[in-house]
Every structure is written in C-alpha cells, then in structure tokens.
Structure 1
C-alpha cells in the first residue's frame, strides 16, 4: 500500500508540474506583440524599397509602415496606426484604414511564429469591400535593437557600386528628431545643403526608410523615399539596397565631426 501511495504522489507531481509548464508557454497572441520587418516573400529576399513594417501593440492596435504612391508624382514612407487586430489560435484578424483612406479587412494564417521570426499567408484580403487573391507567403524578422544613438550624427561617403551614376561623395547629417540634412557639391566643387530636401528618416533596427524631395540624380520632382539595410561598426557605416533585377547598391561612409562649410547665398 505504501508503494502504491508513493506511485500516486509521483504521478500527481508529474501531472501538476507538467501542466504548469504547458500553461507557461507563450501563446501566438503573446509572441505576436512587437515590431516586425518584412524580409522575404515566398522565401525570396524582398526588394528593400518594398519592405513593410508591422507593430502589434498590447492595446490591440496595429501600426503599419510602408512606402505609398500618393499620386503620379509623389511617393513617401508613412507610419499609420489606424488598424486594430485580434488573434484567434493561428489566425490574425486585422481591420483599418490606410493613409489614402482605403479600408482594409484581412485575415492572416500563422505558419510559424517564435521569438525571432513570423511567417504567414493571407486567407482574406479586402480593400474597400473588394476581395483580392494573395497566394504569397511572407516572412518577417522581429525588431529587438535600437541603433538610433549610434546612427545620429554626420556621415561622409559615397556609393561604391561599380558603374553607379552616383560616384561623388556626400554628407548626411542625421538628427535625433528624425530629420536630416543632405549636402552635395555643385559643378564648382562648392558644398551645398539641399534646401528643399524636406528630409525625414525612420529606423527599424537595421532598416532605414528615408523621405526626401526633388531627386538630384534623376532630375525628378516631387516627394520620394528609399529604404536601406545598414550595418554599423564603430565610426563606419554601410548601406545596402536590393533593387530591381537583383542589383545590390552599396554606400560606404564614415562618421565625421561636422558637416562641410557650405556656399553662402549671394557669394
């Protein structure tokens, strides 16, 4: 009888502690909270400018950030928190309105989710009530680090991609309030601060999205944006961007004490 009692106690202990361990495992709703950067579509690296950001907040609102084509001549990066979400088992239900006023209703199917990676497919995608088929699979990486302190400051460098039309050096001056100045040289080698830059940048760990206006290289007018993956190593920084036709563009730069002395207007 004593032996049977000991076996009963041992069995009960296993059940109790086994049950507690299972209850302590995070749910999909728990794991989903945080900021995610899209890195792949259908297991292929996404074009850097096509990257999007999703931030699932504890109050069940969602921030979505991406580049938007505002009209024929203007495109820009926007963050928008006009979304709500709920999680039911492996399904993520999202509803909201984008920066252009379009209403969305979406259902995502979680394929896999852990502390580092989210992979999902789309079961429902309605825009203004109209259904659109989407058979893609999306993979996102969780944002865990903040490099804003190291990123702010003045950087001097150039594009190092062979054959690039942009072979000259530039200065970028990044401020803590997410604005920045851009400096270039004119035909007489005078440094000019681009007065119509209207620059603003966004950081998501090692992804930077940057808004600007009136592209000097292409001669295009209006608002524009670019996205870059970056790495920091002391006072060295490297940008890389995957563009159309699998072309990778690279910029290399170093942090310097101050921006250049610029040409004064009227001189």
Structure 2
C-alpha cells in the first residue's frame, strides 16, 4: 500500500511495542518515518534497519519525551532530513500503578510530564515543520479514560488529560488545516502488560467481544487510518481501539 506515499511521519517513543508497530505500519504505507527513543538505541536502530531493508525510509533520533530542548532538536533534525513533517504521533508513554495512599508528587508528576507535557512539547516542536496545507497529530490515550481500574488513578487521569488536550488542540489548530485525534488502546500485548497473570489475560479475552487481547498491529492500524486522507473530516476525537471491551 502507498496510501501515505510522500508523507513524513514522526513517532515518539517508538523503539518497541505499539510505537514500533506504528512506525512499521506507516512505513509500509509509503511514509518516510522518524522515530524517537529515550534509551534503547540498539532497538531503535534495528527498527530503522529493518524498514530500510524492506525498501522504506527511516531514521532514529534520541530524545527524552519530557526534555523540550531534546524534542525540539529531534523535530528539527527530522524536518531538515526529510524536508517537512506531515504526521506527528505522540506515542511516548509509561504505565505505573499505585494505591492512593502511596501516591506522592513524584509519582504524579512523572506520568503527567510524560503523557501531557510530552504531548504538548512534541506538538509545539513539530508544528513549524508542517507544510502550509496542514497535517495531522495523533495522540495515544487509553481505555482507562473510560474505565479506570484500581490503582490506576494517576495513569487514567493523565490519559484523560491527553484526550481533552486532543479536543482543545483540534479547535485551535483546525484553521491551519491540522487535524488532531487520539487513539485509546485496549489491553494490548506489549512489554507494559507482560507481567499480567495468564488468568487475568484469559478473563479479559473472555469478556471482549472479539475474544482476544489487542496486538500492537491493531493499534497501529487505527493510527494509520487517522493519518490517512480517509480521515480528513475527523478531528478532535478519541478512537477507542479495544475490540469492544468497553461496554461489555
């Protein structure tokens, strides 16, 4: 498929998991891709090399999602290398859970900094590289916005802030031809959920209409849809990609 041929996409936090799947999906549809990583250079380089071997175009850039200067430098490098940025995917994130009595400011600040500030900083940095015709921003939210779990209060709240931020930025950036949407993954098989007991996995699959957990590729396909011209009339929305889990 060449649905995104000629487009340039930057995906933050994309050396593994959902981010890696998004990078690979966008590249498979013809996009030039830049992925950022914080620590795992070897994994990021391996993703880039694999995409290149498949005939795609990709670069890896080191940048901590909460470091505004580093993110600005990464966006500037991606913009200079490819000539523009059409698509920004704010994927960088973390999953931490904690009982209410144990929450302190550091625990709170870490997740809000990554999910909310990181989204803001990357979007600010990328905008100057968007063409005058517009572009698209896609943020990663979570099903926990709709169904928080015990001990997930801060994670859930930070992701809810991402969904609200998505709506607000869609209003602000719409006049510039920029769509802003979010994807809220359901329980997905990644490093973040690797420690989940098998019994819990089976229980979730049993109450999900499609009778399985999500895979990174499922989320990547939702992102690719919102990145395509087929979604040109969709903005300010959070797309719940959970196999029907919410509402069952």
Structure with the higher strand share, 1 or 2: 1
Task: Look at both structures and tell me which one has the larger radius of gyration over its CA atoms.
Answer: 1
- Whose relative contact order is higher, 1 or 2, with alpha carbons under 8 Å and at least 6 apart? 2
TM-score range normalised by the length of the shorter chain: under 0.3
TM-score normalized by the length of structure 2: 0.24
Structure with the higher helix share, 1 or 2: 2
TM-score normalized by the length of structure 1: 0.23
